[in-house]
Amino acid sequence: MFGTLFSKSTRPLTAAGTRSLRGAALALALTALGTAAPGWACADIFLNEILADPARDWNGSGAVSSRDDEWVEVINAGATAVDLSGWRVAGPDSIWRYEFSGVLQPGQVQVCYGKQSYDWEVANGFPAFGLRLSNSGGELLLFQMVGTTPVLRDRYAYTDHEAEDDRSSGRSPDGGPHWALFDALTPYSGTEEPLGNACAPSPGTRQTCVTPVQPTTWSSLKALYRS
């Protein structure tokens, strides 16, 4: 489905970068090996939605936290169920943030909040800062561990205007190639891509706001029926 679009994202990392998965930093060198590892099976797991600047209690903890309420969502855009073991997110600083778990059915999404990321980092001996999504623009990378080799599967770089109070960036429609700005909670009127679609962020669920809602007046409705 995304073979062409994401071909650049399926390059394995160098073995040198995989020696210490528990080290303070994983050297995620982006040098391509050129060929996929034997037994490597392409899976249709992609980043689907990211919220970098939370201004509300997204994870339902009872408190608003700039760390714990950030979130990232992945989607299974393929036709078969995928075991998420070994699917990890990392930041542009080459440090692991989180490893997903469980089985994701076709079309399903799974969210990771900053608190889950923090807890995973603590439990696994990584620097514990949560997802660490910068509010001035940043990037998140999705890897699949193939044996001990992290293989880059997807990445998304967001800009400053995407990281404002409770705006998320996500594929629209879910799993599709196009990214949009879900800006219902903090409308964006600028002209930079991605433009706002007046839809609300949807952590852990598929988006239900398919068509942006345009302001409608009674006079404009009557105008539709004038001959």
Part of the chain binding Ca ion (CB under 5 A), chosen from 78-86, 143-151, 196-204, 215-223: 196-204
Kindly tell me which of 53 and 154 has the beta carbon lying closer to Ca ion: 53
Kindly tell me which of 13 and 71 has the beta carbon lying closer to Ca ion: 71
Which one of 135, 139, 145, 159 is in contact with Ca ion (CB under 5 A)? 135
Residue 202 binds to Ca ion (criterion: CB under 5 A): yes
x/- track of binding to Ca ion for residues 91-130 (CB under 5 A): ----------------------------------------
Kindly tell me which of 10 and 108 has the beta carbon lying closer to Ca ion: 108
Helix, strand, coil percentages (3-state) for the chain, rounded to 5, are: 10, 25, 60
Residue 61 binds to Ca ion (criterion: CB under 5 A): yes
Which one of 26, 50, 69, 110 is in contact with Ca ion (CB under 5 A)? 69
Ramachandran region of residue 2, left (φ > 0), alpha (ψ -120 to 50) or beta?
alpha
Residue 59 binds to Ca ion (criterion: CB under 5 A): yes
Q: How far is the CB of 68 from Ca ion (least distance, A)?
A: 5
Kindly tell me which of 68 and 121 has the beta carbon lying closer to Ca ion: 68
Which one of 133, 141, 142, 181 is in contact with Ca ion (CB under 5 A)? 133
Kindly tell me which of 52 and 151 has the beta carbon lying closer to Ca ion: 52
Part of the chain binding Ca ion (CB under 5 A), chosen from 25-33, 46-54, 152-160, 213-221: 46-54
Q: Residue 16 is encoded by which pair of tokens?
A: 């040198």
CA quadruple 105, 99, 205, 40: dihedral sign: negative
Residue 165 binds to Ca ion (criterion: CB under 5 A): no
Residue 52 binds to Ca ion (criterion: CB under 5 A): yes
Q: Residue 202 is encoded by which pair of tokens?
A: 């949807």
**Cα distance between residue 134 and residue 54, in whole Å:** 11
Beta strands in 10-133 (DSSP E): 45-51, 71-76, 82-83, 87-90, 96-99, 103-104, 109-113
Q: Which long-range contacts (CB under 8 A, 24 or more apart) does 100-107 make?
A: 100/74, 104/45, 104/74, 104/75, 104/76, 105/76, 105/81, 106/76, 106/77, 106/78, 106/79, 106/80, 106/81, 107/75, 107/76, 107/77, 107/174, 107/175, 107/206
Binding site for Ca ion (CB under 5 A): 49, 52-53, 57, 59, 61, 65, 68-69, 73, 133, 135, 202
